[in-house]
Amino acid sequence: MSYTVLARKYRSQTFDDLVGQEAIATTLKNAVASERVHHGYLFTGTRGVGKTSTARVLAKALNCASFEAPTPTPCGTCEPCRMIAEGEDIDVIEIDAASNTGVDNIRDLRNNTAYRPARSRFKVYIIDEVHMLSTGAFNALLKTLEEPPDHVKFILATTEAHKVPATIVSRCQRFDFRSISIDAIAGHLRHVLEQEKVEADDTVIRRIARLAQGSMRDALSLLDQLLSFGGGKLAAEVLDDVLPVARDEVITALVDHVADEDAAAALQCVEQSLASGQTAERFCQMLIDHLRTLMLLKVCGTDTELVDLSTADRDQLAEQAPRFDASTYVYMISLAEEARRSVKSSNASRALIDAAVVRLALAGNFSDIKELLNRLEDGSAHEANPTPAARQPAAKPAAPATPLGSTQTPKDRTPACGDRPSGDKKAKPAGSAVSAVAPTPSPGARRRESVSSSDEARVRRDPTVQRTMELFDATLMSVQKSAPNQNTAEASPGQGDSTPDTAEPESAGGDA
């Protein structure tokens, strides 16, 4: 007798058997019980979450011969139920849209809907991967899907709902199947192992559930593989020989190494993940999802409902989330997304990922400008940056304030805080903050372009600008690019002036 794989042997046979889709199962059961079954359904979700199994269960509920009317609890033993479960019933037609993409295929389907079912109450069409249909095929299906005969039901299934035209979606009731949680997969695996009379360590079951990434079919396939290797008992010792490390565990370890600024160890995690068959784009996507989860836990608290995590995973990630501040998470997610887009069209995807991970390991060196200002106000950089009073020359009065827009200072002016003598290559003092302010220029500075008083007032009202000006005793100034064909006479006051125009504001605390 031929062997039946676990994914087929333990396929859900009733609505109550569906794992991880309880809300959808309840909705469909109530629809059948109240005789409010729609003529068209669209089941969407990732692979192995129960779309086709649910479609077959619904077909059995409509055509079960043990009851005189549709029932939410099909018997599973009558001939229609058995044939539907095996995919061989003459009144339940399963179509692979990838192999029947043309208009002619849909035209034949449409013509056959006119005939009543051979022995059942309804003729049910299950179209798998419906997004593979051509545009012409979708158009040919529209009218029949909108007003089918009373004895016809359509169930469309797809893993890429965004590729299904809106005209099709609007004619169906849409159900989004969620990825199955690790706890739900682990519980079902324990049930399967009990039925198979096989002992297994909890570590093995959890590893399989993590590797399945929300797909019950993938989990049962991995369990099948382990059973072939381990015989009657599945011990933790066989894990590393047969199964790779769960990818979410690798990502978690990578983020820990990034937090420790250990770029070498983080690159080892990249090698471990990609060597196990993970694509570069998928690796970046998993990293983005993990960083997003940590950011939400950091910003919204560990009890937030914005992330779907088991209790054990939530506790583990809640310990990791405080290792970065919110602004650093934003920077890291942006960097990972930039890497994800780049690897799609590059022949050097591994180099791009390695470079991104090294940059992530340096993310702790980046801080928000407001946090730097807070440190300065708290006195963390007072020794490296003298107080405003100490920075002002004692024997010479301060230069008068200059309107916003000046760009040059006379050569005989005493340098103020942040001014650097010509040829000085030394780095700025530790603790200096980057700001959009500049030293006070003299009244004789040449004006590039006038700035309206409303713009100047708006900038001056900015709290960050105000705090920066107070800390550095600086004055605002606007540096504008000159027009490409600027009149030569305009530059005549500075015949020897070779200072290049720049669109970037100068910094009062040194180089930005």
Task: Output the pLDDT for position 495.
Answer: 43
| pLDDT of the residue at 286 | 87
Q: How far is the CA of 199 from the CAs of 4, 191, 234, 237, in angstroms?
A: 20, 11, 6, 14
pLDDT confidence of residue 288: 92
Count CB-CB contacts under 10 A for residue 417: 20
Q: Supply the pLDDT for residue 366.
A: 61
What pLDDT, on the 0 to 100 scale, is given for residue 371?
Answer: 66
Residue burial 360-375, b: 16+ Cβ < 10 Å; e: rest: bbebeeeeeeeebbee
Which residues are CB-contacts of 244 (< 8 A; sequence separation ≥ 6)? 211, 276, 277
User: Residue 322 and residue 294: Cα distance in Å, rounded?
Assistant: 8
Q: Using an 8 Å Cβ cutoff, are 467 and 473 in contact?
A: no
Q: What pLDDT, on the 0 to 100 scale, is given for residue 231?
A: 63
- Asked whether 131 and 163 are in contact (CB, 8 A), the reply is yes
Q: What is the DSSP string of 308-365?
A: ---HHHHHHHHHHGGGS-HHHHHHHHHHHHHHHHHHHT-S-HHHHHHHHHHHHHTGGG
Sign of the dihedral through C-alpha 398, 400, 406, 409: negative
pLDDT of residue 382: 45
Cα separation of 56 and 12, whole Å? 9
CB 58 within 8 A of CB 84: no
**What is the structure's pLDDT at 32?**
94
Contact 466, 460 (CB under 8 A): yes
Q: CA 229, CA 241: separation in Å to the nearest integer?
A: 10
Measured between alpha carbons, how far is 432 from 507 in angstroms, rounded to an integer? 10
User: How many beta carbons lie within 10 A of that of residue 150, not counting itself?
Assistant: 8
Q: What is the model's pLDDT at position 439?
A: 47
Structure tokens at 499: 């200072």
For residues 190 and 200, give the distance between their C-alpha atoms in angstroms, rounded to a whole number.
8
pLDDT given for residue 385 in this prediction: 44
**What pLDDT score does 211 carry?**
82
Low-confidence residues of the chain: pLDDT under 50: 380-449, 486-512
Q: What are the two backbone dihedrals, phi and then psi, of residue 32, each rounded to the nearest 5 degrees?
A: -70, -45
Q: Which of 445, 437, 408, 406 is nearest to 506 (CA)?
A: 437
- What are the tens digits of pLDDT across the range 253-303? 999 999 998 999 999 999 988 887 778 888 898 899 899 999 999 999 888
Structure tokens at 276: 């196990």
Predicted confidence (pLDDT) per residue in 362-397, tens digit? 866 666 666 666 767 676 444 444 443 433 444 444
What pLDDT does residue 392 have?
42
Amino acid at 372: L
Q: Are strands 173-176 and 152-158 parallel, antiparallel or unpaired?
A: unpaired
What is the b/e burial string over 479-495, where b = at least 16 CB atoms within 10 angstroms of the residue's CB?
A: beeeeeeeeeeeeeeee
Strands of the sheet containing 173-176, edge to edge, are 92-96, 123-128, 152-158, 40-44, 173-176
Mean pLDDT of the chain: 78
216-225 pLDDT, tens digit each: 999 999 888 8
Residue whose entry in the numeric block shows the structure tokens 């909705």: 27
Q: What is the pLDDT of residue 419?
A: 43
